[in-house]
């Protein structure tokens, strides 16, 4: 293992992780030239939807994922549907009282 610093795409740098900001150092397996290593942090932004509304591009220009509802009908067949369409600027402003 080796000590690492991790950083991401957000404009406020709150997705930068190192041992100075947190009580524990971050260690990952040492990289090997022939073995890829993948790290993922998915949808952890607590305030993204409150700033930009549901769906679309969030405030750091990170696209929001679609929410898909998956269910089975009485025959056992799978069905999918989109949870909600992307929120318009008008509906977002209405929620905020404008």
For the segment 10-50, what is each residue's pLDDT rounded down to a tens digit?
A: 666 666 666 565 556 778 889 888 988 888 766 665 555 55
The string of DSSP codes covering 32-74 is BTTB-------S--TTHHHHH-SSSB-TTSPBPPPPEEEEE-T
Task: Kindly state the tokens that stand for 97.
Answer: 């009282």
What is the value of pTM for the model shown? 0.38
- Mean pLDDT for the stretch of residues 63-79: 89
Q: Where are the domains of the chain?
A: 1-41, 54-98
Residues contacting 51, CB < 8 A, separation 6+: 58, 59
């Amino acid at each position: 293992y080796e000590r690492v610093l991790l950083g991401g795409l957000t404009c406020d740098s709150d997705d930068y992780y190192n041992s100075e900001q947190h009580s524990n150092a971050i260690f990952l397996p040492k990289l090997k030239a022939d073995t890829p290593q993948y790290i993922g942090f998915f949808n952890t932004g607590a305030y993204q939807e409150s700033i930009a509304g549901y769906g679309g591009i969030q405030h750091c220009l990170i696209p929001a994922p679609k929410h898909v509802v998956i269910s089975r009908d009485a025959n056992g067949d799978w069905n999918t549907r989109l949870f909600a369409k992307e929120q318009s600027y008008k509906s977002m402003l209405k929620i905020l009282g404008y």
